[in-house]
Amino acid sequence: MRIATWNVNSITARLPRLLAWLESSGTDVLCLQEAKIAEEQFPFEQLRDAGYEAAVHATGRWNGVAVLSRVGLTDVVKGLPGDPGYDGVQEPRALAATCGPVRVWSVYVPNGREVDHPHYAYKLQWFEALRAAVAGDASGDRPFAVLGDYNVAPTDDDVYDTAAFEGSTHVTPAERAALAGLREAGLSDVVPRPLKYDRPYTYWDYRQLCFPKNRGMRIDLVYANAPFAKSVTDAYVDREERKGKGASDHAPVVVDLDA
Q: Which residues of the chain have pLDDT under 50?
A: none
Q: Which residues contact 136 (CB under 8 A, 6 or more apart)?
A: none
How far is residue 63's CA from residue 53's CA, in Å, rounded to a whole number?
A: 20
Q: How many CA atoms, within 13 angstroms, populate the side-chain half-sphere of residue 185?
A: 25
Contact 83, 128 (CB under 8 A): no
Contact 214, 200 (CB under 8 A): no
Q: What is the pLDDT of residue 193?
A: 60
170: containing domain: 2-257
Contact 105, 96 (CB under 8 A): yes
How far is residue 4's CA from residue 237's CA, in Å, rounded to a whole number?
A: 9
How far is residue 248's CA from residue 36's CA, in Å, rounded to a whole number?
A: 13
Residue 230 is part of a domain; what is its CATH number? 3.60.10.10
State the pTM of this model.
0.96
How far is residue 56's CA from residue 37's CA, in Å, rounded to a whole number?
A: 10
Q: What is the pLDDT of residue 199?
A: 64
Q: What is the pLDDT of residue 196?
A: 52
How far is residue 2's CA from residue 27's CA, in Å, rounded to a whole number?
A: 5
Contact 37, 13 (CB under 8 A): no
How far is residue 1's CA from residue 232's CA, in Å, rounded to a whole number?
A: 9
Q: What is the pLDDT of residue 224?
A: 98
How far is residue 105's CA from residue 110's CA, in Å, rounded to a whole number?
A: 15
Strand 102-108 to 94-99 pairing: antiparallel
Number of separate domains in the chain? 1
Q: From residue 74, how far is each of 39, 55, 58, 69, 115 by CA, in Å?
A: 18, 9, 18, 10, 38
Q: What is the pLDDT of residue 259?
A: 80
CB atoms within 10 A of CB 39: 18
The one-letter code for the residue type at 12 is T
Roughly how many angstroms between the first and final C-alpha of the chain, as a whole number? Answer: 6
Q: From residue 110, how far is each of 120, 140, 146, 169 by CA, in Å?
A: 8, 27, 15, 11
Quick check: helix, strand or coil at residue 109? coil
How far is residue 9's CA from residue 64's CA, in Å, rounded to a whole number?
A: 10
Element (H, E) at 29: strand 29-33
